[in-house]
Amino acid sequence: MTLVAGIDAGTQSVKVLVYDSETREVLGAASTPVALVERDDGTREQQAQWWTAAIAECFSKIDPAIRRRIRALGVSGQQHGFVPVDAAGVVVAPVKLWCDTSTQAECDAIMAAVGGPAACIAAAGNPILAGYTASKLAWTRTHRPDAWRAMRTILLPHDYLNFWLTGERFMEAGDASGTGWLDVRTRRWSPELLAAIDPDRDLTASLPPLLDADASVPIQASTAEALGLSTEVRVSVGGGDNMMAAIGTGNVVPGRLTMSLGTSGTLFAHAAQPVIDDDARWAAFCASADGWLPLICTMNCTVATETIGRLLGLDTAAREALLADTAPGADGLLLLPFFNGERTPNLPAGRGCLHGMTPSNMTPAHLVRAAMEGATCSLRSGYDALVEAGLQFDTLLLTGGGSRSAIWRQMAADMLELPVRVPVQAEGAAFGAALQALWALQRQGGDAGTLADLVDAHVQFDDAAAALPTDAGVDAYRTQYRAFGRHLDAIAPLYRG
């Protein structure tokens, strides 16, 4: 009996899942919330020790007998965060997160130094957008010079957790794609982009080695003992939350599109070659396995529904109940949900805007629906870009907290006009990390099986949660999506230049 664990360190919480690969059952799971520092200038930060404390708390909630039988674990982490670590392994500054938009000036400066967005795409496959790691380094150099001088290693959130678990510093290409300085075509660092961040410092000296996706490293004894784990545990390379969700939802072959409905909203697909857009309508990322992961990211998904929920004093169950009394289109109420600024569409300085208010539609139920529809319309705009690039899809796979909503599942099916399937394991990132750990463990033992075969053997779907597009829903959301586009075109100039 082989037990593996997946850790998902997200923006709002840390989750741990323990999976029995023989019975194909989850034997234990736990979640712990994590605080977030938010400021009006777009700052979004956390302390790295909050993540490690949350992981320890999660493991403490799992049966000790189960913990001792775990033989491998993998880490999924929120992408793009910057964890500066000194020579002794100490984190020397708060971690600026993916949703931090306070560094837009640094994005512009880096791209200007390279020769503009097109030159960035030519050098690495992506421009430097708000949220990517590159601008966080430049910001730290200016605003936290002591931390910049003390830094000896650049780590992403999941890289730091791997370091905490193993005592070793390493990266992998999937999550590293989101730094902005990895050439996704070659999986090598871009010297031009690194020099644009700091022309006076050789940042390659601060970058740990890139390991293969099937690699694993022994856990360090002190951490194993603190978590109640065996010292025989192997830690896989893990990856960004989207890369792990691709594995956990079965999206490792062409034709499948995953929509993750979490704090951020994401759409991603599997490709056998780099999928790069000269207009940067999507992120041209590597997968945390063989292949590439073209990805659309919105910065406001459950952020929108949770924000409206807080305003109205409604929890998730209460919001879902209210939605049952509303129809697609929210009776003309339309929310552009850019509370954190936005990446898709690219409006880092954007703010939420509510349109079409009337005495009859200004109700809690319509506000809740407008928030959900606005978040889904943003994702639909990214889907259009992928389709225009020639990618074809036959299935929409849903994961993340929003996938638990029957109304959101139907909305996704109608909005994207694709059949929806929902994996049994709703937390695809944690499950994907566990499956990658299982694959790496098998590889370490000499098994040459592919990740695709392993994923197809273990990812199960909830037939009761499936949804098919309906004629009425498709028609209603075509109308709503056109309205979303008109309002977006009208307000976009207010938040540019």
User: Residue with structure tokens 């560094």?
Assistant: 103
147: tokens are 């931390």
Domain count along the chain? 2
The CA-atom distances, in angstroms, between 48 and each of 89, 229, 243, 358 are 12, 21, 21, 45
For the stretch 122-166, pLDDT in tens is 999 999 988 899 999 999 999 999 999 999 999 999 999 999 999
Rounded Cα distance, 280 and 124, in Å:
12
Which of 247, 195, 161, 282 lies closest to 450, judged by CA? 247
Question: Tell me, what amino acid is at 202?
Answer: D
4 strand-pairing partners: 19, 72
Q: How confident is the model at residue 35 (pLDDT cuts 50, 70, 90)?
A: very high
Which of 331, 332, 367, 330 lies closest to 352, judged by CA? 367
**Has residue 363 been placed in a domain?**
yes
User: Are 370 and 353 a contacting pair, CB within 8 Å?
Assistant: no
Q: Mean pLDDT over residues 37-52, rounded?
A: 96
CA 430, distance to chain mean position in Å, is 12
218: helix, strand or coil: strand
At 346 the pLDDT is 82
* Residue 373 domain boundaries: 251-422+467-497
Q: How confident is the model at residue 325 (pLDDT cuts 50, 70, 90)?
A: confident
DSSP string over 354-383: EE---TTT-SHHHHHHHHHHHHHHHHHHHH
Given a cut of 90, is residue 401 above it in pLDDT? no
CATH number reported for the structural domain that contains residue 138 in this entry:
3.30.420.40
Same domain, 9 and 152: yes
At 262 the pLDDT is 87
Q: How confident is the model at residue 264 (pLDDT cuts 50, 70, 90)?
A: confident
Q: Give me the percent of the chain exceeding a pLDDT of 90.
A: 91
**Has residue 279 been placed in a domain?**
yes
Which of 363, 341, 367 lies closest to 352, judged by CA? 341
**Has residue 462 been placed in a domain?**
no
Given a cut of 90, is residue 496 above it in pLDDT? no
Same domain, 47 and 191: yes
Choose the final residue of a domain: 183, 206, 241.
241
73 strand-pairing partners: 5, 235
Mean pLDDT (the chain, rounded): 95
Same domain, 297 and 190: no
99: tokens are 């949703």
Q: How confident is the model at residue 1 (pLDDT cuts 50, 70, 90)?
A: low
At 101 the pLDDT is 87
Q: How confident is the model at residue 497 (pLDDT cuts 50, 70, 90)?
A: low
298: helix, strand or coil: strand
**Has residue 455 been placed in a domain?**
no
User: Are 322 and 371 a contacting pair, CB within 8 Å?
Assistant: no
Buried b (16+ CB within 10 A) or exposed e, 321-332: ebbeebebbbbe
The CA-atom distances, in angstroms, between 476 and each of 4, 320, 412, 488 are 44, 20, 12, 18
User: Residue with structure tokens 């063989």?
Assistant: 290
Choose the final residue of a domain: 241, 272, 298.
241
85: helix, strand or coil: strand
Classify residue 406 by its DSSP letter. H
Same domain, 230 and 192: yes
Classify residue 219 by its DSSP letter. P
At 131 the pLDDT is 86
29: tokens are 């799971």
232: helix, strand or coil: coil
**Has residue 229 been placed in a domain?**
yes
When comparing pLDDT for 1 and 161, which is higher? 161
Same domain, 309 and 397: yes
Same domain, 294 and 152: no
Same domain, 230 and 256: no
Given a cut of 70, is residue 244 above it in pLDDT? yes
User: Are 488 and 452 a contacting pair, CB within 8 Å?
Assistant: no
**Has residue 78 been placed in a domain?**
yes
Same domain, 32 and 108: yes
For the stretch 367-397, pLDDT in tens is 999 999 999 999 999 999 999 988 999 999 9
Q: Give me the percent of the chain exceeding a pLDDT of 70.
A: 100
- Asked if omega into 345 is within 30° of 0 (cis), the reply is yes
Q: Which entry of 146, 241, 278, 489 is annotated as an active-site residue? A: 241
239: tokens are 């990856």
Same domain, 259 and 315: yes
Which of 227, 216, 204 lies closest to 67, judged by CA? 227
For the stretch 174-206, pLDDT in tens is 999 999 999 999 999 999 999 999 999 999 999
Q: Mean pLDDT over residues 167-176, rounded?
A: 98
Same domain, 132 and 255: no
**Has residue 439 been placed in a domain?**
no
Q: What angle do CA 216, 79, 94 make, to 5 degrees?
A: 105
User: Are 241 and 8 a contacting pair, CB within 8 Å?
Assistant: yes
Rounded Cα distance, 51 and 161, in Å:
8
Same domain, 127 and 203: yes
Same domain, 87 and 111: yes
241 is catalytic: yes
Choose the final residue of a domain: 186, 217, 241.
241
DSSP string over 326-349: --TTGGG-EEE--BTBBTTTTBTT
Q: Mean pLDDT over residues 104-113, rounded?
A: 96
User: Are 77 and 85 a contacting pair, CB within 8 Å?
Assistant: no
The CA-atom distances, in angstroms, between 280 and each of 243, 271, 389, 420 are 19, 17, 11, 27
Rounded Cα distance, 101 and 197, in Å:
17
Rounded Cα distance, 176 and 114, in Å:
19
Sign of the CA dihedral with 425 first, then 431, 435, and 436 last: positive
For the stretch 413-456, pLDDT in tens is 999 999 999 999 888 899 999 999 999 999 999 998 999 999 99
User: Are 178 and 138 a contacting pair, CB within 8 Å?
Assistant: no
Q: How confident is the model at residue 88 (pLDDT cuts 50, 70, 90)?
A: very high
